[in-house]
Amino acid sequence: MSGVRVYNERLLELGLTLPGFVDRSEVIASLPSLGLLTLAAHTPAHWKVIYKELDNYSDGDINEIAEECPDIVAFSSLTARINEAYSLTSVFKKYGITTVIGGLHVSALPDEAMKIADCVIQGEGEIIWETLLSDYENNMLKRYYSSLSNPEYTFRFKDVRVPKYEILDISKYNRLTIQTTRGCPLHCSFCAASRTISTYKKKSMVQIESELNKIFEVWDRPFIELADDNTFVDKAWSKDLLKLFGKYKMKWFTETDISVAYDDELLELLAKSNCAQVLIGFETSKASGLKGLDRSDWKYKQFDNYLKAIDKIQSYGISVNGCFILGFDTDTKDTFIDTEEFIKVSGLSEVQITLLTPFPGTDLYKQLKAENRLLDEHYWEKCTLFDVNFIPKNFSVEELEDSFQKLMSTIYSADAVKERKRKFREIQRNRKKYSLYESI
Ligand code: SF4
């Protein structure tokens, strides 16, 4: 269950008319669940596996699954759809089907999930899955399996299998995902993905090559989206990755921090490997907003290089999708004006703005909970990145919503989107030789 419904009605209406916003939302909603495809690969051959996406589902879809009489239904869901996943869990239990749930949200709150599902997987499912199925067959299924609290289930990437892409109806997708790294060493206070499931780890080139080869067996000209949190942390490993990607006819996309801009060789390889776009979390247009954001203040120390880094990466013909978060305690009304100005001046080819969201499991969640600033106890369906879930410091909730909506209208207006695309096309046309660019 991957798609997300925005709750704020005004924003919902607005979003439907904003081209830049809709494009990215559609891409995210149409990605298959790499976690479930990976579990399918770890399922012994005497089991039959069916993969279903319940983004927009009807009673007919549920009946169709129930009529297959599965022994187990396994769910993967993000926080924003977790309540729906819990409801469906209850529905399948009524059919006498065993339900298993895993993923980011339940890894942060396993006790909550255990009240509903028959079995909860906390952390990395690959190492647990075969044991869980064998326990089921022997009538010994446990309520809870954890790779985070049980050293017996320590997972290494060398043991991962190639996801079962072949069970997808490939005609339904415009992108496929592979994961080359998991986790991120930076530890930003609002970031759940970087460590809830695993500490930072990288796959070997041999494994990544096998995954790419499998994708090319089912799709000859794929667009690949890396399901990584921060791909280019290890520069030597990254260069091997880019050399490998350069051998394949594919366009691809990933998420990174701005350190790529400091390595000319890496940028050159990135351009030659047909990278279409990198998404970078700049987080804010104000240096003060970055202070204390990650544990070593790494992002704060990079702030003065932001504009030069964007310029440099894009000069290699690689589009930068810049992400900004609004609602930090350091934000004031001026932050919205500064963000709009920063986006204009930066020449970013694409932009994402989101509201600060306290996902369970993050330092931000713990901080706001301790300060009694969460608006509800179980606000999960509003963890959309576009709904306010906490009491902001320098705004009322309504003021933050209003300012955010105004900024959305400005930066995602048809003219603004067109202008960003025009500027980027101009950069691509005028691309100079890589060697002309100075190091930052
Ligand atoms: S750099 Fe990105 S992936 Fe890493 S912790 Fe920060 S927000 Fe998460």
Q: How does DSSP classify residue 159?
A: G
Contact 275, 250 (CB under 8 A): no
Q: What percent of the chain has pLDDT over 70?
A: 93
Q: What percent of the chain has pLDDT over 90?
A: 81
Q: How does DSSP classify residue 231?
A: T
Mutate to test the pocket of ligand 1, among 194, 232, 233 (most ligand atoms within 8 A of CB): 194
Sheet holding 251-256, edge to edge: 176-178, 223-226, 251-256, 275-283, 319-326, 350-355
In this prediction the pTM is: 0.92
The reply to whether ligand 1 has any atom less than 6 angstroms from the CB of 230 is yes
- pLDDT for residue 15 is more than 90: no
Question: Checking DSSP bridges between strand 201-202 and strand 181-182, what pairing results, if any?
Answer: antiparallel
CA of 184 to the centre of ligand 1 (A): 6
CA of 203 to the centre of ligand 1 (A): 19
Task: Report the interhelical angle of 414-429 vs 19-29 (nearest 10°).
Answer: 80
- CA 370 from chain centre, in angstroms, equals 27
Interval 148-171: pLDDT, tens: 999 999 999 999 999 999 999 998
Taken in order of first residue, the domains within the chain and their CATH numbers are 9-30+168-436 (3.80.30.20), 34-153 (3.40.50.280)
For residue 74, the model assigns a pLDDT of 97
223-260 in b/e burial notation, b at 16+ Cβ within 10 A? ebbbbbbbbbbeeebbbebbebbeebebebbbbbbbbb
**Closest Cα to atom 3 of ligand 1:** 229
Region 308-313 average pLDDT: 95
Range scoring the smallest mean pLDDT among 335-339, 382-386, 401-405, 428-432? 428-432
For residue 4, the model assigns a pLDDT of 63
Closest by CA to 118, choosing from 70, 168, 65, 175, is 70
**Token pair in block for residue 44:** 């012994």
**Closest Cα to atom 1 of ligand 1:** 186
Region 370-379 average pLDDT: 96
